[in-house]
């Protein structure tokens, strides 16, 4: 699951501030671990099919027999998250971390819940995830979101760029990077990412909105208004322009390196970021 910044809603926030040993199995049966894996595949399908209640029921059926089953706890956390029950989700992921204290999936799951209420704590969770799994592009993307929500746009852009080195061409990350660059005062670089996306047949209102931010940051106000008018009535266009002006003119807070855990060094790929 990829997190994205949510356009004007995000801008207003910015303007404030995831084997049993011993007994032989009876002949003709699967090992218990294989049975659990098959059951949890149903939970995966349920989440993908937007049925988190079923995913929760399936994961808890495994936990009833094996309360410390790491994969079942991760699935339970994901199901609770999809249901909007973040306290329960954090509890499940915390139990998973007791089984595997370096589970990047659990750390990311905790971070995504914390993102709703405390971007600083969310950043710490995502930083732990990328340290424990330096090839986790989704965690780098989410780390960027947490930084953006604190107004640390230059540091956020670095996280998005690392995510794209690991997973080139991920649209959600490219959009996040473009918006972050615009908010960091790098309008030209932002337009290089957002322009092709905003003018493609797959463009969404959110992508066009972020493109409009970059256009505004570049001083191209007539084009900004034209792009916004594709999806918004005139009065909403004016409100968006006012929001853009307020956010882009606000000074960026200084990142406190003592408060921000650094990601572990990552071996950069040769893939181009595009």
pLDDT for position 44: 83
pLDDT for position 101: 94
CA dist 148 and 150 (Å) reads 5
pLDDT for position 272: 28
pLDDT tier for residue 22 given thresholds of 50, 70 and 90: very low
Q: Which of these, 172, 197, 174, lies nearest to 1 by C-alpha position? A: 172
Dihedral, 39, 44, 49, 52 alpha carbons, nearest 10: 80
User: pLDDT tens digits for 180-214?
Assistant: 999 999 999 999 999 999 999 999 999 999 999 99
The two tokens of residue 26 are 């009876």
pLDDT for position 116: 85
Match 């959110």 to its residue by tokens.
206
Percent of the chain residues past pLDDT 90, beyond the cut = 71
pLDDT tier for residue 35 given thresholds of 50, 70 and 90: very low
Q: Does residue 28 have a pLDDT over 50?
A: no
Specify whether the CB–CB gap between 247 and 183 falls below 8 A. Answer: yes
Mean predicted confidence (pLDDT) in 16-39:
41
Tell me if the pTM is above 0.85: no
Structural domains of the chain, with CATH: 48-101 (1.25.40.10)
**Average pLDDT of the residues of the chain:** 83
In this structure, the chain runs to a length of: 274
pLDDT for position 39: 82
More confidently predicted of 35 and 232: 232
CA dist 63 and 36 (Å) reads 10
- CB crowding 151-190: b at 16 or more within 10 Å, else e: bbbebbbbbbbbbbbbbeebebbbbbbbbbbbbbebbebb
Helices and strands, counts by H and E, the chain? 14, 0
More confidently predicted of 268 and 171: 171
The two tokens of residue 248 are 């882009």
User: pLDDT tens digits for 216-273?
Assistant: 999 999 999 999 999 999 999 999 999 999 989 877 776 544 444 443 333 222 222 2
Say how far residue 216 (Cα) sits from the centre of its chain. Answer: 25
**Quick check: helix, strand or coil at residue 69?**
coil
């Amino acid at each position: 699951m990829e997190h994205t910044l949510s356009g004007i809603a995000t801008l207003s926030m910015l303007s404030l501030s995831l084997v049993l040993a011993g007994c032989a199995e009876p002949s003709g049966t699967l090992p218990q671990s294989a049975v659990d894996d098959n059951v949890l595949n149903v939970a995966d399908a349920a989440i993908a099919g937007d049925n988190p209640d079923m995913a929760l029921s399936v994961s808890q059926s495994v936990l009833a027999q094996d309360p410390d089953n790491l994969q079942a706890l991760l699935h339970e956390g994901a199901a609770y998250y999809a249901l909007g029950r973040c306290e329960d989700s954090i509890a499940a992921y915390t139990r998973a971390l007791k089984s595997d204290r370096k589970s990047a999936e659990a750390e990311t799951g905790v971070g995504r819940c914390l993102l709703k209420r405390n971007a600083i704590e969310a950043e710490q969770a995502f930083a732990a995830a990328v340290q424990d799994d330096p090839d986790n592009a989704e965690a780098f993307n989410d780390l960027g979101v947490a930084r953006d929500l604190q107004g640390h746009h230059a540091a956020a852009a670095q996280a998005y760029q690392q995510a794209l080195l690991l997973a080139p061409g991920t649209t959600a990350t490219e959009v996040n990077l473009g918006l972050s660059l615009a908010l960091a005062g790098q309008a030209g670089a932002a337009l290089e990412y957002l322009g092709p996306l905003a003018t493609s047949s797959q463009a969404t209102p959110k992508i066009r909105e972020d493109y409009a931010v970059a256009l505004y940051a570049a001083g191209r106000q007539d084009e900004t208004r034209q792009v916004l008018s594709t999806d918004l009535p005139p009065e909403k266009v004016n409100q968006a322009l006012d929001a853009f002006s307020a956010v882009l003119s606000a000074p960026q807070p200084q990142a406190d390196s003592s408060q921000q855990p650094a990601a572990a060094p990552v071996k950069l790929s040769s893939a181009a970021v595009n």
